[in-house]
Amino acid sequence: MNSPVSTPLRPVIIGAGPAGVRAAVTLAAAGLRPILIDEAARPGGQIYRQPPAGMTRPPEALYGFEAAKARAIHTALAPYAGQIEHRTDTLVWNIERGALDLMHRTADGQPVSTVLPYDSLILATGATDRILPLPGWTRPGVYTLGGAQIALKAQGCGIGQRVVFAGTGPLLYLIAYQYAKAGATVAAVLDTAPFANRIRALPGLLNCPDTLLKGLYYTAWLTLHGVPLHSGVILREVAGPEGAVSALHWRDSHGQDRETACDGIGLGYGLRSETQLADLAGCSFSFNDLHRVWLPDRDAAGRTSVTGVYVAGDGAGIAGADAAEAAGERAALALLQDRGLSVDTARITVLDRRIARFRRFSAALWTAFPVPAGWAQDLPDSMTLCRCEEITVGTLRRTVQADAPTELNRLKALSRIGMGRCQGRMCGVAAAEVLAHETGRPVSAIARLRPQPPIKPLPAATIPADTAGEATP
Ligand SMILES: Cc1cc2nc3c(=O)[nH]c(=O)nc-3n(C[C@H](O)[C@H](O)[C@H](O)COP(=O)(O)OP(=O)(O)OC[C@H]3O[C@@H](n4cnc5c(N)ncnc54)[C@H](O)[C@@H]3O)c2cc1C
């Protein structure tokens, strides 16, 4: 007896940033009818995030050199409106047994949870800030770097009038430039990476000369406009009266203690891939020494260890927006191939070469702007590490001394770190660094926090609705 031939479900893509949009368009161009889900109201992702309807700053003002690329992503879905189902304002909060749990709001604002089965899934979930706190970081006025940029891009406001950008990574300089152009006073850019690292990384950075030139332009522009740029610094403390920021204390590369007056601080150490959904989908992970985090295992096309699940863009490892577009298209082509459909193999060769070049560039960026080694060693016991559960460094140290956990999930069980609203998205990296330092083990040896649904907070009023499966390819 013949077994029934099951019709494949519509492919599902999570994330409508550069990677997800390119994946959706590639599938649609091949005749499929993908479902594209994003918690944002409009496509664009982080870099090309669109302002709310009614805010009329032109793309040139919002995205600078990237305005044309932003426009292209914003308009890419329109020709396939009848084919791509774009579910906006929809959060994927869990993956279980081949189905996604989604939360969206009805027209009258009621949060509703639905279930969407999948058999092919492209995770293009992007990245978020890597946060390494310093004493005083919980004061109002301290923002993550990405948060500072979103305030500017999506709300048209700054985090202060006199702002310091501190930490490391290329976004420090870009966001300082964007703030200065928008009229804020940038009091300083304080980079923990030594300048010599950038020289060392130069050969790798030449893989993407256009991007390198843009970076040089931002630093030259800031210098010409009198913004102090310091590298090789140590960030010491955020100071100020109750409930405010008035200065950042730091040590320069010659060991001199310095202080910069400010009323806002953008803090960040590069980006960290959003990998919780890949984890919940059952993908295997490996520790990446360069990124200093765990990333889903994947082949060059984005196939993970789970059949039918692909990763693309920053969610698979930080490589930037151009790389994300190429990876989104590549993952979609892999999906088509895996469904037995014909694809343009010459295009695959072009994409593979491009992606490999972006990867070399990205590796050089991590060399230029590494996560500061030894960050965990001088932290005061009193510093809050986990804001959700108000857990201090001292609590973690005492837990390690008393119970000798050597693995992060054990530390979580003992101390509640990573159990709060953010589920470790904010504190997980810092907690791993502290545990590694306290136990004298490499950070790769202490595992990663196991994600628990919901991966982002849900309104308590969320009600379950009917299963919303799709059955046509
Ligand atoms: C805050 C921030 C600011 C940045 N600014 C710049 C910049 O100015 N210049 C630059 O070159 N690079 C910037 N980057 C990096 C750049 O955004 C990325 O390299 C690029 O956008 C990666 O594209 P992507 O498609 O992989 O992911 P993203 O553009 O991050 O898109 C991911 C999308 O997935 C959605 N998503 C994630 N999880 C879920 C979920 N569970 N449910 C539903 N939707 C979900 C998100 O809403 C988002 O729209 C920034 C990154 C961040 C985090």
The answer to whether the beta carbons of residues 251 and 257 sit under 8 Å apart is: yes
Q: In a 10 Å sphere around its CB, with 0-12 CB exposed, 13-18 middle and 19+ buried, how is residue 431 labelled?
A: buried
Cα distance between residue 164 and residue 186, in whole Å: 6
String of b and e for 346-362 (b: at least 16 CB within 10 Å)?
Answer: eebeebeebbeebbebb
Instruction: Indicate which atom in ligand 1 lies nearest the CA of residue 147.
Output: 1
User: What DSSP character marks residue 396?
Assistant: H
Across 129-136, average pLDDT: 95
Across 359-372, average pLDDT: 94
325 CA → ligand 1 middle, Å: 12
User: Does 125 contact ligand 1 (Cβ within 6 A)?
Assistant: yes
Task: Give the residue from 317, 342, 367 where a domain finishes.
Answer: 342
270 CA → ligand 1 middle, Å: 13
Examine the domain organization and report whether 135 and 123 are in the same domain. Answer: no
Across 124-151, average pLDDT: 96
Nearest CA to ligand 1 atom 37: 125
User: Does 314 contact ligand 1 (Cβ within 6 A)?
Assistant: yes
Q: Is residue 203 included in any domain, yes or no?
A: yes
Cα distance between residue 363 and residue 368, in whole Å: 9
Render pLDDT for 226-262 as a digit per residue (tens, 0 to 9).
999 999 999 999 999 999 999 999 999 999 999 999 9
Task: Give the residue from 246, 269, 292 where a domain finishes.
Answer: 269
Instruction: Indicate which atom in ligand 1 lies nearest the CA of residue 43.
Output: 49
Say how many domains are in the chain. Answer: 3
**CATH code of residue 170:** 3.50.50.60
DSSP element (H, E) containing 249: strand 247-251
Examine the domain organization and report whether 167 and 212 are in the same domain. Answer: yes
- Residue 5, pLDDT score: 58
**CATH code of residue 413:** 1.10.10.1100
Range of the domain at 400: 375-445
Q: Is residue 349 included in any domain, yes or no?
A: no
User: Does 35 contact ligand 1 (Cβ within 6 A)?
Assistant: no
User: Does 15 contact ligand 1 (Cβ within 6 A)?
Assistant: yes
User: Does 148 contact ligand 1 (Cβ within 6 A)?
Assistant: no
- Residue 471, pLDDT score: 39
Examine the domain organization and report whether 265 and 280 are in the same domain. Answer: no
340 CA → ligand 1 middle, Å: 31
What pTM value is reported for the model?
A: 0.94
Q: Is residue 332 included in any domain, yes or no?
A: yes
211 CA → ligand 1 middle, Å: 18
Q: Is residue 364 included in any domain, yes or no?
A: no
Q: Is residue 90 included in any domain, yes or no?
A: yes
Q: What is the mean pLDDT of the chain?
A: 93
Examine the domain organization and report whether 290 and 193 are in the same domain. Answer: no
Helix H segments across 110-208?
145-155, 170-181, 195-205
Examine the domain organization and report whether 95 and 185 are in the same domain. Answer: no
Nearest CA to ligand 1 atom 10: 47
Cα distance between residue 426 and residue 432, in whole Å: 12
Q: How confident is the model at residue 466 (pLDDT cuts 50, 70, 90)?
A: low
Render pLDDT for 25-55 as a digit per residue (tens, 0 to 9).
999 999 999 999 999 999 999 999 888 777 7
Across 132-160, average pLDDT: 93
275 CA → ligand 1 middle, Å: 13
- Residue 59, pLDDT score: 82
Q: Which of 36, 46, 89 to mutate to test the pocket of ligand 1 (most atoms within 8 A of CB)?
A: 46
Q: Is residue 251 included in any domain, yes or no?
A: yes
Task: Give the residue from 284, 319, 342 where a domain finishes.
Answer: 342
Angle at the Cα of 430 from the Cα atoms of 424 and 433, rounded to 5 degrees: 125
DSSP element (H, E) containing 123: strand 121-123
Instruction: Indicate which atom in ligand 1 lies nearest the CA of residue 38.
Output: 44
Examine the domain organization and report whether 253 and 306 are in the same domain. Answer: no
46 CA → ligand 1 middle, Å: 3
HEC string for 35-89: EEECCCCCCCCCCCCCCCCCCCCCHHHHHHHHHHHHHHHHHCCHHHCCCCEEECC
126 CA → ligand 1 middle, Å: 4
Examine the domain organization and report whether 252 and 138 are in the same domain. Answer: yes
Examine the domain organization and report whether 245 and 118 are in the same domain. Answer: no
- Residue 61, pLDDT score: 80
412 CA → ligand 1 middle, Å: 28
Q: Is residue 175 included in any domain, yes or no?
A: yes
User: Does 174 contact ligand 1 (Cβ within 6 A)?
Assistant: yes
Q: How confident is the model at residue 462 (pLDDT cuts 50, 70, 90)?
A: confident
415 CA → ligand 1 middle, Å: 31
Examine the domain organization and report whether 286 and 196 are in the same domain. Answer: no
Q: Is residue 473 included in any domain, yes or no?
A: no
- Residue 465, pLDDT score: 66
Render pLDDT for 374-423 as a digit per residue (tens, 0 to 9).
899 989 999 999 999 999 999 999 999 999 999 999 999 999 999 998 99
300 compared with 466, residue with greater pLDDT: 300
- Residue 64, pLDDT score: 84
Cα distance between residue 183 and residue 369, in whole Å: 27
